């Protein structure tokens, strides 16, 4: 009799847990998988023939992100499987503008008033940010390249207009930096940016 009582007690304890997983199991597994249901390591990804198919598979509606804190939106940006597209363009402003057209998370992140502060915090705590990501290890390694590009984008927005043919402008820290209107703009400013970290 005592043995059957123990079995019933165990069953009574397990039933609520099983019911919970039956009703909420999908939500739990989606939280563990990050913001995107698929990434480039999944076999289905390799079946896509166009970037449009990839973008459709990883699209997140704006309403899914709009109420999240800015630091979580940044994680969604960093987990975005096509965030590497930032490096396909000749200049950072064009890259960020074009990627934000198909990356809802980036578009929302850029619109936030505290985005620059969240980005600065992330740059100082890259390891912590990496631990919050539910992405392939390569993406986690890539944040050391993505975060500075986003920071540079914000810094470029703060820069004064560049004189025709090039010249000196005041950098965000007040120093004079020589820039030209061509690909050297990125190189010259990037050298300044790296030296100020």
Task: Report which of 105, 177, 184, 190 is spatially closest to residue 149, judged by C-alpha positions.
Answer: 190
d(CA 150, CA 183): 18
Which alpha helices (H) appear in the chain, and where do they start and end? Answer: 2-32, 51-57, 70-79, 92-102, 104-111, 115-124, 126-132, 137-158, 184-195
- Average pLDDT of span 61-68: 94
- Average pLDDT of span 117-124: 95
- Average pLDDT of span 48-62: 93
Global model pTM greater than 0.85: no
Higher pLDDT, 177 or 45: 45
With 50 as the cut, is the pLDDT of residue 190 above it? no
The size of the chain, in residues, is: 197
d(CA 65, CA 67): 6
| 159 contacts 171 by C-beta, under 8 angstroms | yes
Res 10: pLDDT: 57
Q: How far is CA 159 from the centre of its chain?
A: 24
Task: Report which of 53, 151, 69 is spatially closest to residue 108, judged by C-alpha positions.
Answer: 69
pLDDT bucket at 103, cuts 50 / 70 / 90: very high
pLDDT bucket at 29, cuts 50 / 70 / 90: very low
| 126 contacts 143 by C-beta, under 8 angstroms | yes
pLDDT bucket at 64, cuts 50 / 70 / 90: very high
Q: Where are the domains of the chain?
A: 52-158, 162-197
Distant-in-sequence, close-in-space partners of 194: CB < 8 Å, separation ≥ 6: none
**Vertex 139 angle, CA 155 and 56, to 5°:** 90
């Amino acid at each position: 009799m005592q043995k059957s009582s123990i079995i019933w007690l165990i069953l009574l304890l397990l039933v609520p847990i099983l019911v919970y997983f039956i009703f909420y199991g999908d939500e739990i597994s989606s939280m563990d998988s990050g913001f995107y249901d698929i990434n480039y390591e999944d076999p289905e990804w390799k079946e896509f023939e166009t970037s449009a198919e990839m973008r459709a598979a990883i699209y997140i509606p704006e309403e899914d992100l709009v109420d999240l804190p800015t630091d979580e939106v940044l994680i969604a940006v960093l987990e975005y499987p096509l965030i590497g597209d930032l490096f396909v363009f000749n200049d950072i402003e064009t890259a960020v503008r074009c990627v934000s057209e198909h990356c809802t998370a980036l578009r929302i992140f850029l619109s936030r008033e505290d985005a620059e502060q969240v980005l600065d915090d992330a740059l100082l705590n890259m390891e912590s940010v990496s631990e919050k990501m539910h992405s392939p290890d390569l993406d986690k390694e890539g944040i050391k390249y993505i975060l500075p590009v986003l920071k540079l984008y914000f810094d470029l927005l703060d820069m004064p207009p560049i004189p025709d043919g090039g010249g000196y402008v005041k950098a965000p820290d007040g120093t004079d930096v020589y820039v030209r209107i061509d690909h050297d703009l990125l190189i010259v400013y990037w050298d300044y940016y790296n030296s100020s970290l």
